[in-house]
Structure 1
Amino acid sequence: MPKTFKRGDHVSWNSEAGRVRGHILRVHTGDVDYKGHVHHASADDPQYEIKSDKTDHVAMHKGRALRLLKS
């Protein structure tokens, strides 16, 4: 079973620039068109929309790419 997170959770993930931290803005449980690409999601395997703590960059990731951080 994939990890599940909720809106507001503080998480981190790997990017090309290294480890990034941010807060979950939205949880998508259906396919979503994001930046010109369809990201597949379901209730059992959602996609998470996350805003970086340091920049205004918003990323989309599955739960398996995220780590929950202590607030």
Structure 2
Amino acid sequence: MSISKGDKVTWNTPQGTTEGVAKEKRTKEFSFDGQKFKASDDEPYWIVESTKTGAQAAHKESSLGTP
């Protein structure tokens, strides 16, 4: 699956499935919200923003779906 900036995406949380928007793709190691992530070209991460709360989080591209 290929995700582009601005795409609507879903991901799983302890409360259930959350919907949001893909904001920024990361392909190199980075820190976000006090955590380190080991992104790469083979396993990119996306900064996503929740439609419901506006909160942002980092998720592996492979863990994101489309609504």
TM score, norm. by length of structure 1: 0.85
Q: Does 1:29 align with 2:27?
A: yes
- How many percent of aligned residue pairs carry the same amino acid? 30
State the match for 1:61 in structure 2.
Answer: 59
Q: Does 1:49 align with 2:52?
A: no
After the TM superposition, which segments of 4 or more aligned residues of structure 1 sit over 2 Å from their partners?
A: none
Write the distance in 2 (CA, Å) between the matches of 1:4 and 1:40. Answer: 19
State the match for 1:4 in structure 2.
Answer: 2
Asked whether the 8 Å contact 2:43–2:62 carries over to 1, the reply is no
Question: What is the root-mean-square deviation of aligned Cα atoms in Å?
Answer: 1.1
Which consecutive unaligned segments of at least 5 residues does structure 1 have?
none
* TM superposition shift of 1:44: 1.7
Aligned residues: 67
Which consecutive unaligned segments of at least 5 residues does structure 2 have?
none
